[in-house]
Amino acid sequence: MADDPTALAAGDAGSWLDGMRAALRGDRDADVPCGPCTACCTSSQFVHVAPDETDALAHIPHQLLFPAPLAPRGHVLLGYDERGHCPMLVDGACSIYEHRPRTCRTYDCRVFAAADVAPDDDKPLIAAQAARWRFTGDGAALDAVRAAAAFVRDRLDGDDAPRTATPLAVVAVELGELFAAGGATVETVRVELRRRRRGS
């Protein structure tokens, strides 16, 4: 990183992957060294809030929420203001940080660096931050995540294929262990994706 003064230490790849997978399972929050960055809060992102997130729902004004399209009843989205900023971002900080939704608790832009997936074109602030992360350690684990991303992007279609960069990068992190073990096929990947969606 000495060669690039803008680079950020993403941490040990193996440890980060273990922690990120735990966050995605709901076992813990993502531990992101954001520093002063608020790219994810200022990039016109919709934040999903599930009906079981009663604490978050109690801290978000009802008028800022609307039903999540194609989701079961009770699932809502928190939108963004005319600048593309989350309305809960006040004076450069989350005003409900201790009560933030699960989506925010698990969001970690290092997934893009880990999966070698570029954020969508309409997310330039996130892309700039994601490009700065540098992992150390387990290169084989990152290779498996990147192989998963390429496989899913190039070989899956229909309902199984993520349509945007964030879910693609997340799925790649989730499937990295399958690819590390070798022998992944379209069918085994589809089965694993469906199993994860069911939460089993």
Tokens of 189: 């990947």
Nearby residues of 57 by Cβ (< 8 Å), 6 or more positions away:
49, 51, 65, 76
**Rounded average pLDDT over 121-144:** 94
- DSSP for the chain, written as a single string: -TT-TT-EEEEEHHHHHHHHHHHHHTSS------TT--GGGSS---EEE-TT-HHHHHHS-GGGEEEPTTS-TT-EEE---TTS--TTEETTEETTGGG--HHHHH--THHHHHHT-PPPTT-HHHHHHHTTEEEES-HHHHHHHHHHHHHHHHH--GGGS-SSHHHHHHHHHHHHHHHHHS---HHHHHHHHHHHHHT-
Q: What is the pLDDT of residues 95-130, one digit of tens each?
A: 999 999 999 999 999 999 999 999 999 999 999 999
Q: Does residue 2 carry a pLDDT above 60?
A: no
Q: Does residue 69 carry a pLDDT above 90?
A: yes
**Rounded average pLDDT over 57-73:** 95
Predicted structure pTM score: 0.90
